[in-house]
Structure 1
């Protein structure tokens, strides 16, 4: 018996029991669908997290006040003051060879207002290198330059959230906003960056020149960078660990710390944080895929049970086929093909269900929808494996029936 005849007979047998075949496939559909959804969602989540950290700058170090043994990440606020403006100058002047960009970042919460609305947001005072470090482009207008950072004009760059809240339906360029009652001219709208790795809206921010910030919002404490951080980035991501050590050595030397003294500053390495986030996402995805695979095993057991019932119900049919010349291998092949058809049809439908579920999860959680061709290949491979593994025993059992005994069987 050729394979086409076997396939036709298998389809006919399954069609005779449409309801039972459909219910059997449900286990495969949900099993494969959930596995595929977990894999696709995990990949999408990883890509989204990677995009967030690429936007933040994976070759970024953030230097703050405070001992490395102190908990939290308050950005230097409330920590013992140690970082000085001279430290910043040393970093800017190339005393650490691996650093490409260096920028102070001072930040505070303020109330801002336009003629239309009020809004509570964050204001950042910094230098132009900040935009290089953050890979932040301008959407409209122009970024301020080093002269503006040094002279302190009352100008502001706003994120897209600020533009929407304060200037709905109006081009914000050239408009005036008030920060704590002081007027500032909007000279640019920053490109949207979306949410940070911590779930914060990065577009809900106003950026002003450092000199303006120090004059109008925070006069500082003498030589110390009291309520701010220093952002530094390297030429290459591979340099980040070496740069961290070089910055540590330089600051310890400048702060006259002995070998027994703890650092009086903290350095956060975003590349390491991004790697930990990626590893955590991969572990969670793997765990969820394993849990989902358990439902696939249950679906496979359902296929095996139905095929065993089918063998019992068709015992007399098997006896007749053997009596007219069918070989045991022909009988085994037919039942194995029936199992494979159930599994493959369930796999195709499960693939569609998994894609829909992954797309829904991506939309709900704000991930990328990621569904590569390899995912479809996995679905078909798993479906084939389920069909063979759980269909083999019923097929072998059918092929080993004694023709005489089978012909005498009464259902």
Structure 2
């Protein structure tokens, strides 16, 4: 009978353990060389984990900041003439009322009319700014995902009474009050020929910072006129899954209101912001993948470094390989030794890179929300870690494959003669 040590599976285990021990001794004997060899893999794995974390945080921050807009649909009058000739009809209050009819549009949650015009805002002699006067309803900020720095939104009583109150965006505040929001709040400004009290200061949204927001009735009565004419409508679907149905209902109701028989000749334009948000998210994903691909180049460089060092190691240990083969070592044992050594080198680099990348990402998750709250909190991706481990092992196998094969093919006599 075969003893435990003579069984094939026992011999395989011993061979693997022996090869692992030899690989560990070789790495300890050349610590600096081993460390420098794994440096490229460490940098590559670290960069991939950190960039994946930053990319996920950026997308999460974007969705948090603009997620409310996913249910938003805008309705605007087409510019110029209608396809086929003729001037487009104005958007009017009756269009708003038609869209609020639940029998015709059950998936629409809210409709916000907006009346826009340019006017000079004066805070005192010699201080003036041309602002975008915007008249709307009390839920304008909610539907348009806008926030305030100071003050409060006008209420329903003020809206119904055409109260002469206004909320200023950051640009009017910067030009009229030197950027002092506290000084602007509660002051009186002159818009056109009427005086308005500043009751709120709006936070920047990056594209409509010239705004001077007031009740729709007040804007019509004292600044932009227009009776029942509106510039656009912000329609809010009841929920994100209901956006497609709401979009279809908006088109159907507006076609009926404007007597549109041919959809190609519509005098209005309906846009679902969800489509734009999806496109931006897709762009962010592509951008993250591109950056990660660039960072992964260092992994390739690291793999080349491992392959180079393994070839050097084969050359340095030619006589050792010859002795081992002369006393009966098989090709598979020699190959296994060098494959294990290259895999251990790459895996060690991957492990260090995972620790370093995860630590940097966690630190960024603590610091970034304090410095840039809108960016989003970076998070360590388990998928990125698993991929990093897999890639490191693959690099070790691939980079050590040729050197291991070259070592295994050495003839004992030639190897022993090598100087």
TM above 0.5, one fold? Answer: yes
Looking at structure 2, the residues matched to 204 and 188 of structure 1 have their Cα atoms a distance apart, in angstroms, of 14
The partner residue of 2:275 within 258, 272, 276 is 272
Matches within 5 A, 1:2-401: 6-7=19-20, 9-55=22-68, 57-66=69-78, 80-94=88-102, 95-110=104-119, 112=121, 121-136=131-146, 141-158=151-168, 166=177, 168=180, 170=182, 173-179=185-191, 182-189=194-201, 192=203, 195=205, 200-201=206-207, 205-220=211-226, 222-225=227-230, 228-259=231-262, 262-322=265-325, 328-351=331-354, 352=356, 367-374=375-382, 375-401=384-410
Post-superposition offset of 1:376 = 2.5
Note the alpha carbon deviations across 1:142-173, whole angstroms, 9 max, x for none: 43233322221122234577667746373765
Residue segments in structure 1 that go unaligned for 5+ positions in a row? 72-78
After superposition, the Cα gap between the structure-2 partners of 1:340 and 1:123, relative to the gap in structure 1 and judged at 3 Å, is: farther
Whole-angstrom CA distance in 2 between matches of 1:108 and 1:143:
20
Q: Structure 1 residues 179, 388: CA separation in 2 closer, same or farther (over 3 Å shift)?
A: farther
Contact 1:141 1:188 in 2 (8 A): yes
Per-residue Cα deviation, 1:69-106 (whole angstroms, up to 9, x for no partner): 989xxxxxxx8443122112222344422111111123
CA 1:26/1:248 → structure 2, altered by over 3 Å: closer, same or farther? same
The verdict on how the C-alpha distance between 1:178 and 1:11 changes in structure 2, with shifts beyond 3 A counting, is: farther
1:257 counterpart SS class: coil
Tell me how far apart the structure 2 counterparts of residues 409 and 104 of structure 1 sit (CA, whole Å).
Answer: 88
Structure 2 CA distance for aligned equivalents of residues 3 and 181 of structure 1: 91
CA distance in 2, matches of 1:67, 1:202: 20
- Quote the offset at 1:366 in angstroms: 7.0
Query: Matches of 1:173 and 1:164 in 2, distance apart?
Result: 13
Q: By how many angstroms is 1:337 displaced?
A: 3.0
What does the per-residue CA deviation read over 1:202-227, in whole Å, with 9 as the maximum and x for residues that have no partner?
Answer: 6664421111212232112x5432xx
CA RMSD between the two structures: 3.9
Question: Per-residue deviation at 1:11?
Answer: 4.0
CA displacement, residues 29-62 of structure 1 (integer Å, 9 cap, x when unaligned): 343344445533433333233234314x111100
- CA shift, 1:248, in A, is 0.9
CA-CA distance at 1:397 after TM superposition: 3.2
Q: Is the 8 A contact 1:36 1:355 kept in 2?
A: no
Contact 2:52 2:381 in 1 (8 A): no
Shift of 1:349: 4.8
Give the 3-state SS of the residue equivalent to 1:64 in structure 2. strand
Tell me, yes or no, if the aligned pair for 2:150 and 2:181 is still in contact at 8 Å: no
Question: Any conservation in 1 of the 2:77–2:267 contact (CA below 8 Å)?
Answer: yes
Compared with structure 1, are the counterparts of its residues 154 and 384 closer, same or farther at alpha carbon in structure 2 (3 Å cutoff)?
A: same
Between 115-124 and 331-340, report the one with greater CA deviation. Answer: 115-124
Q: Contact 1:112/1:119 (CA < 8 Å) preserved in 2?
A: yes
Report the secondary structure of 1:58's partner residue. helix
What is the distance in 1 between the residues matched to 2:39 and 2:308?
14
CA distance in 2, matches of 1:149, 1:133: 17
Larger Rg, first or second structure (1 or 2): 2
How far apart, in 1, do the equivalents of 2:36 and 2:132 lie? 56
Residues 263 and 398 of structure 1: CA distance in aligned 2, closer, same or farther (over 3 Å): same
- Deviation of 1:265 after TM superposition, in Å, equals 0.2
TM-score (normalizing by structure 1): 0.79
